[in-house]
Amino acid sequence: MLIAQPSTPHPKILFSSFVNPTPLRFSTTHRTSLAKKRHNHRYRCKISTVRCSSSDQPFNSTKPIAADVFGGKKELSGIQSLVDTMSPPIRLASSALIFAGAVAAGYGLGFRFGGSRNAGLGGAVALGAAGAGAAYALNSCVPEVAAVNLHNYVVGCDDPGALQKEDIEAIANKYGVSKQDEAFNAELCDIYCRYVSAILPPGSEDLKGDEVETIIKFKNGLGIDDPDAAAMHMEIGRRLFRQRLETGDRDGDVEQRRAFQKLIYVSTLVFGDASTFLLPWKRVFKVTDSQVEVAIRDNAQRLYAFKLKSVGRDVDIDQLVGLRQAQVLYRLSDELAEGMFREHTRRLVEENISTALYVLKSRTRAAKEATHVVVELDKILAFNNLLISLGNHPDASRFARGVGPVSLFGGEYDTDRKIDDLKLLYRVYVTNSLSSGRMEDNKLAALNQLRNIFGLGKREAESITGEVTAKVYRKRLAQAVSSGDLEAANSKATFLQDMCEELHFDPERAIMIHEGKILSYFCCASVVLLCCQCMG
């Protein structure tokens, strides 16, 4: 019923090209060549259409991947279209009918034209062999049909990253094939290879951080086995390695080297501990273990640096926990993570310092320039206090490494040329702290923190503080004498002592001021003598 037309009784319709394009060619040689063809298709990764130059746009995980990455939809041939309409039971029944019909027709023809039973048996054997070949052709193309449908299904997906393993298994079950079949598995590998090649950014671009998660999700959704997936990673590596050898300019060589390093890094994270035996970089590409470690370290640092960009002066617990998780995911060592976090916080502080210095040294000085400078320094102190409190948090072990007091060590302002600028800012803050005529305890603590952040020596800070405090002391003492508050005090010694305590001023330095006759403009020797006695 499937192989003959009612209007044409001639038996040669059994060999129609619609059923079998190459009738009576099912010899051992043909089967061997067919197997070789499938074998070659199994390991040939078609990635020529995948972007491999820096001019292409990088993959953005927020948008579905371009459908042309997979090469567009494929068309089915005549017999493949026929197989596509059959379910496995119908296909098996049709194969049985083809063989039975061929045997019956052969026997009938042989008996009719030969006139004997032996002739009929000979005809049955001849046409039975042809029918068996037709049935074989009908069933042998099933894996190819399943592979084509798998390809077209993936191409038709708006977001291939959202594939589900059940969808792939449903296609295999529809045609009664196994995912381990050569043609079907070759298509799985080809799709995975193209997808990974599209995910990885070109050599001139850094990883975005979501490539590993995206590839793992796609690999699981596609249902491809780890050994087959790892073979595709190695195939991409071979392509990059060939491109690097073919590159004539130095910039192109550097670009391909970076792309190869990113492939090593992403592949290592995709397969985890199994990557040591699934990805033989050393054996295939003569890559040493140290070179693999360098590739992992450099890319992990770039990803972590990108993650750190979101950390500002209002960093919170959730961000620190997320940084720690990212560090572990990126396989970045604690030592490197700590150094990078401290460097990031130092740069944030350096931004405030640069802004404060710009305001202070501006040619068009505003009337409230000191206030603007103090605001920037207060931001530094608030940020430093926040990091100290987070570093002392009970759950600090879950936070990013390096959380603690800020330091300018190793940065832009850790030079002899910049120390004078830091002293200038420190002087401004001391002056502002004494603007009310007294030194509050919180301001004194802030000055100690600022000294530690700036890396000023104790003597340097005390010298600056002493100079500014001495001026304030002179001013207050002059006001006390001119207003008569000192004369009206019950105990002049107590009055002067309280003044020194409010300013946190060294009494010995106050005596030096008196003995130097800095207050001689009061024209009152008794006051000078009284001050010296009180401070003694």
Q: How far apart are CA 217 and CA 65, in angstroms?
A: 14
Structural domains of the chain, count: 2
The Cβ of residue 193 has, within 10 Å, a number of other Cβ atoms equal to 24
Domain limits for position 239: 11-247
The answer to whether residue 230 is domain-embedded is yes
pLDDT (0 to 100) of residue 416? 86
The answer to whether residue 533 is domain-embedded is no
Whether residues 237 and 376 fall in one domain: no
The three-state secondary structure class of 257 is helix
CB contact at 8 A, 19 and 79: yes
The answer to whether residue 266 is domain-embedded is no
The answer to whether residue 394 is domain-embedded is yes
pLDDT (0 to 100) of residue 20? 34
Q: Could you identify the residue written with the tokens 């799985």?
A: 188
* Domain stops at, among 219, 247, 275: 247
pLDDT (0 to 100) of residue 43? 42
pLDDT (0 to 100) of residue 47? 42
Task: Tell me 521's DSSP state.
Answer: G
Cα atoms in the Cβ-side hemisphere of radius 13 Å centred on 508: 0
Whether residues 232 and 361 fall in one domain: no
The answer to whether residue 503 is domain-embedded is no
Token duo for residue 62: 């927020």
Write out residues in the chain with pLDDT < 70, as ranges: 1-67, 75-142, 247-249, 251, 363-369, 511, 513-536
Whether residues 233 and 346 fall in one domain: no
pLDDT (0 to 100) of residue 425? 94
Q: Could you identify the residue written with the tokens 């700590």?
A: 338
* Domain stops at, among 458, 482, 506: 482
pLDDT (0 to 100) of residue 496? 78
* Domain stops at, among 247, 268, 297: 247
CB contact at 8 A, 239 and 196: no
Whether residues 79 and 185 fall in one domain: yes
The answer to whether residue 476 is domain-embedded is yes
The answer to whether residue 213 is domain-embedded is yes
Residue 128's contacts (CB-CB under 8 Å, 6 or more residues apart) are 99, 102, 103, 106
pLDDT (0 to 100) of residue 503? 83
Whether residues 203 and 348 fall in one domain: no
In single-letter form, the type of residue at position 318 comes to: D
The answer to whether residue 209 is domain-embedded is yes
**Rg of the Cα atoms in the chain:** 42
pLDDT (0 to 100) of residue 36? 42
pLDDT (0 to 100) of residue 152? 82
Label residue 18 left, alpha or beta by phi (over 0 means left) and psi (-120 to 50 means alpha): alpha
Cα atoms in the Cβ-side hemisphere of radius 13 Å centred on 259: 30
The crossing angle, in degrees rounded to 10, of helices 317-330 and 289-308 is: 160
Whether residues 55 and 199 fall in one domain: yes
